[in-house]
Every structure is written in structure tokens, then in C-alpha cells.
């Protein structure tokens, strides 16, 4: 009698190790392949390309910005879309890296043929992508990259911005910090476009008020601030201005309180965003700051509806970044409906000086994109950050709303000379 023993190597088996790996790889690749089965359903959607650092130190802000944009897209599509076409949002991760951001802009424009680009939380990426979109003549909105040249000396006809310039943010809070605490500042600032212009503007305002300062410029993704904090303690300033962003700002705040420095000096700065405040322990929720939009505005029409919609869609309290994303998509809609076209130059002309409707503006007063530099003249909410009072998201008390035009100064001050294609 003969007995067949299966080979120990598995070579005679039905499925061997290599086949299994190959099958797994093939199935994995199939998951990545773009589905092309739904391409012929009605008219093609309007494609909008969104680039934000979904990974890296600014991801905490980028994620909420994208959530706000998605909410706007859902609402607009539910009402029939724009010019009778649905909106399709294509989101790309810039990984907080300028080169990757530029590459993603090329991808969205050349492969996906988007009608508009929205980029980026990171000022340097927004600034670099501006170069690509102006070369390609693509309508571009910068929802949350603050550095001044974007709507200043390097302004472009196709680029609009929603968040404030650093000059506006510095103008809104410097006087308050000086009058409350004194004229001696210490800056901890990220060493890139946003940080450079922000610190420059603070220093300009501080000097005008007769103040003195010292400063430390650190890489954008710094995690250890001990050396800078020791320097700050030795300098004995009245106020420490933490200009870092996202996770870096959070780390700096935590270390500031761990060192017990809140007893020696006040804390403040241009931006301390809701996402960052909520990530900190109560003793680090402190200081006087700007907020570029605030969710608690009793009596202002439509704000409560927006806050409820964000809560329902994301489970989070509405932040300025949600509002930036929301306004960005609605600005595109408003421009397209007014221009009855998706052509970049027509969208541009339609959006200039266009006052946002109350359900999009979501703040007191009339706010519009200034034609001279394409900067949205939104109000700046200045006030005090504190541990939660009642509502867990009630961590900021608004002291004043500074009108955008007042903080921005004139178009001539920005250095923008807008030129249009012939």
C-alpha cells in the first residue's frame, strides 16, 4: 500500500505561502483602485480641491477646517448644488510639508481638474501653493494660513483669504496686553512665514507704545521649550507671547505651567484656538488672546444653528477653523452663483466686495472680501481664556470685537498691488 505524504515545504499544497502573500497584495491593491462605476450618473460634479496638513503638528486645526468644509458641501448639495451641479470635495494631506503641498496642488489641478483650490493651514504651504494656482490661473481661497504677503506684497488676482493677517491679529491684541500687564514682552515664535510676520507686527506695535522685548525663534515642530522658557524667566517680561501653533503651542503651554511660570508673568498672544485650549489642563487655560471667530454670540442670527449643525455632524464644539472651512465653500458658491460661471477671473470679480449673507458671516456687522487685497474683513474677538464655565467649550470670554477694517489698516499699508490678466 502506498501512502502520499504532503511535502513539508508546502510546494505541493493548494495554497502556499507565496500565493497567499500575492493574493493578499492583489486584494489590497484592489481596495486602492479608484472605483469607476458611478461616473455616468447625471452631470459631472464641480470638483473642489482641498489641501491641509491632516498629519503633523497642525493636524488638530486642519481636521476641523475640513469638517467645516464638508458640512458646507453637504448643505449645499442637499439644496441642489451650485449652478445645478453637485459639489465634490477632494481632500489631500499636505503632511505639513511645503514640497508635498505643492505636489498635491499639481495633482489636484492636472489630474483631477478641480475648479478651485483651498489651501492651507500652514502659511508656508498656502504661500507656495499660491504660486502654483496663479501660474495655472485657478481660483484659490486660503482658509487659514495667516502670513501677510499672501494678501500683501505677493497678492494675486486669483487668491482670497478668510483668516486674518498677522498684522490684523497683532493690532487687535497688543494694546490690550500692554494696558493690562505692561510693555516688556518675550516672544516664543515659530521660525517660518507665519511666525516671522506675526512677530514683526507685534514688535512694530510694541515699539510704537514704547515697549521692549526679547524673542526666541524655534522650528515649527518643536516639542521641548525648556531652554526658551528658562531664557524667558531670566528676562522677567510682563507678558510671554506664545506664537507657536497647533500641537507645538499646546506643548509650550503645558511646559509653561509645569515650570510654574504663570505666577511670574502673564500669558497672551495672537491666536489660541479652541482646539488647542480644549487640549490643555485647566491651569494652562489662561491668558489674553484673539479668537478669529467664537461660537457663543448671543443674539447674532444663525450662529446657534451653525453650532448645532457642527455638533451634530462632528460631535465637537464649533471652532474658528470650522467656520473658516464653512465660509470657504460658501464663498465659492456665492461667487459661482453671482458670476454664473466657474471661470477663475469671473469668480474673482464676483467675490470682490461681496458682503457675506448673515447665515455665512455668523457674526455682527457686514463682512466682505476687500477688493484691493482680497482679504476678508472679519471681526476679531479679543478676550480672556479661562477654565470651562458651565459648558465645557465655554473657555473664552469676549471682551471686544475689533472690526476687520480697523485692524487691517489701508490696502496701501499691506503692500498689495493687484494686477489682473488682460
Which listed residue (191, 343, 384, 405) binds other proteins by CB under 8 A?
191
- Parallel, antiparallel or unpaired: strands 239-242 and 266-271: parallel
Question: Is position 135 an interface residue for other proteins (rule: CB under 8 A)?
Answer: yes
Q: What is the smallest separation between the CB atom of 316 and other proteins, expressed in angstroms?
A: 17
Stretch that binds other proteins, among 120-128, 181-189, 250-258, 279-287 (CB under 8 A): 120-128
Contact 271, 245 (CB under 8 A): yes
Q: What is the smallest separation between the CB atom of 291 and other proteins, expressed in angstroms?
A: 26
Which listed residue (55, 212, 262, 314) binds other proteins by CB under 8 A?
55
Who's near 224: CB < 8 A, 6+ residues apart? 251, 255
Q: Which long-range contacts (CB under 8 A, 24 or more apart) does 332-337 make?
A: 332/48, 332/82, 332/116, 332/139, 332/141, 333/72, 333/76, 333/82, 333/87, 334/360, 335/139, 336/46, 336/82, 336/83, 337/82, 337/83
Q: What is the smallest separation between the CB atom of 124 and other proteins, expressed in angstroms?
A: 4
Which listed residue (13, 21, 44, 399) binds other proteins by CB under 8 A?
21
Question: Is position 32 an interface residue for other proteins (rule: CB under 8 A)?
Answer: yes
Question: Is position 98 an interface residue for other proteins (rule: CB under 8 A)?
Answer: yes
CA dihedral over 81, 85, 86, 92, signed as positive or negative: negative
**What are the b/e assignments for 182-205, b being 16+ CB within 10 Å?**
ebbbbbbbbebbbbbbbbebbbeb
Q: What is the smallest separation between the CB atom of 155 and other proteins, expressed in angstroms?
A: 14
User: Total binding residues for other proteins by CB under 8 A?
Assistant: 35
Contact 96, 122 (CB under 8 A): yes
H/E element holding 187? strand 184-190
Q: Is 90 left (phi over 0), alpha (psi -120 to 50) or beta?
A: beta
Nearer to other proteins, 4 or 419 (CB): 419
Residue ranges in 297-316 that form contacts with other proteins under rule CB under 8 A: none
Question: Is position 196 an interface residue for other proteins (rule: CB under 8 A)?
Answer: yes
Q: What is the smallest separation between the CB atom of 20 and other proteins, expressed in angstroms?
A: 11
Question: Is position 102 an interface residue for other proteins (rule: CB under 8 A)?
Answer: yes
Which listed residue (193, 265, 274, 307) binds other proteins by CB under 8 A?
193
Nearer to other proteins, 147 or 164 (CB): 147
Question: Is position 90 an interface residue for other proteins (rule: CB under 8 A)?
Answer: yes
Q: How far apart are CA 369 and CA 418, in angstroms?
A: 14
Nearer to other proteins, 1 or 27 (CB): 27
Helix or strand or coil: residue 368? strand
**Which residues are at the interface with other proteins (CB under 8 A)?**
21, 25, 32, 34, 54-55, 59, 90-93, 95, 97-99, 102-104, 106-107, 110-111, 123-124, 127-128, 131-132, 135, 191-193, 196, 219-220
Amino acid at each position: 500500500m502506498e501512502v502520499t505524504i504532503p511535502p513539508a515545504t508546502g510546494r505541493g499544497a493548494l495554497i502556499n505561502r507565496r500565493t497567499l502573500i500575492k493574493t493578499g497584495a492583489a486584494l489590497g491593491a484592489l481596495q486602492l483602485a479608484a472605483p469607476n462605476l458611478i461616473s455616468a450618473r447625471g452631470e459631472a460634479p464641480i470638483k473642489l480641491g482641498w489641501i491641509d496638513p491632516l498629519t503633523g503638528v497642525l493636524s488638530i486645526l486642519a481636521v476641523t477646517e475640513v469638517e467645516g468644509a464638508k458640512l458646507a458641501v453637504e448643505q449645499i448639495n442637499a439644496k441642489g448644488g451650485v449652478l445645478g451641479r453637485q459639489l465634490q470635495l477632494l481632500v489631500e494631506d499636505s503632511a505639513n510639508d511645503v514640497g508635498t503641498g505643492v505636489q498635491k496642488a499639481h495633482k489636484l489641478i492636472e489630474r483631477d481638474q478641480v475648479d478651485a483650490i483651498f489651501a492651507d493651514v500652514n502659511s508656508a504651504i498656502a504661500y507656495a501653493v499660491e504660486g502654483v494656482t496663479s501660474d495655472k490661473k485657478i481660483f484659490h481661497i486660503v482658509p487659514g494660513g495667516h502670513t501677510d504677503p499672501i494678501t500683501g506684497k505677493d497678492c494675486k488676482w486669483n487668491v482670497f483669504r478668510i483668516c486674518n493677517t498677522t498684522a490684523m491679529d497683532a493690532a487687535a491684541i497688543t494694546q490690550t496686553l500692554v494696558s493690562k500687564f505692561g510693555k516688556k514682552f518675550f516672544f516664543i515664535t515659530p521660525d517660518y512665514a507665519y511666525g516671522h510676520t506675526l512677530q514683526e507686527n507685534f514688535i512694530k506695535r510694541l515699539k510704537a507704545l514704547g515697549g521692549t522685548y526679547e524673542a526666541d525663534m524655534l522650528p515649527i515642530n518643536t516639542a521641548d521649550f525648556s531652554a526658551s522658557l528658562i531664557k524667558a524667566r531670566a528676562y522677567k517680561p510682563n507678558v510671554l507671547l506664545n506664537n507657536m501653533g497647533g500641537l507645538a503651542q499646546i506643548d509650550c503651554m503645558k511646559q509653561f505651567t509645569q515650570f510654574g511660570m504663570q505666577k511670574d508673568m502673564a500669558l497672551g498672544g495672537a491666536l489660541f484656538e479652541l482646539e488647542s485650549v480644549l487640549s490643555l489642563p485647566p491651569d494652562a487655560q489662561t491668558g489674553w488672546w484673539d479668537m478669529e471667530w467664537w461660537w457663543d454670540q448671543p443674539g447674532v442670527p444663525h450662529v446657534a444653528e451653525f453650532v448645532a449643525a457642527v455638533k451634530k455632524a462632528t460631535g465637537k464644539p464649533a471652532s474658528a477653523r470650522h467656520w473658516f472651512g464653512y465660509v470657504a465653500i460658501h464663498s465659492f458658491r456665492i461667487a459661482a452663483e453671482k458670476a454664473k460661471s466657474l471661470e477663475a477671473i469671473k469668480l474673482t470679480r464676483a467675490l470682490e466686495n461681496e458682503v457675506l449673507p448673515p447665515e455665512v458671516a455668523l457674526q455682527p456687522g457686514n463682512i466682505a472680501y476687500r477688493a484691493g487685497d482680497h482679504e476678508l474683513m472679519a471681526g476679531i474677538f479679543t478676550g480672556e481664556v479661562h477654565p470651562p464655565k458651565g459648558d465645557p467649550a465655554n473657555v473664552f470670554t469676549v471682551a471686544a470685537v475689533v472690526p476687520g477694517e480697523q485692524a487691517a489698516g489701508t490696502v496701501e499699508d499691506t503692500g498689495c498691488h493687484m494686477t489682473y490678466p488682460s
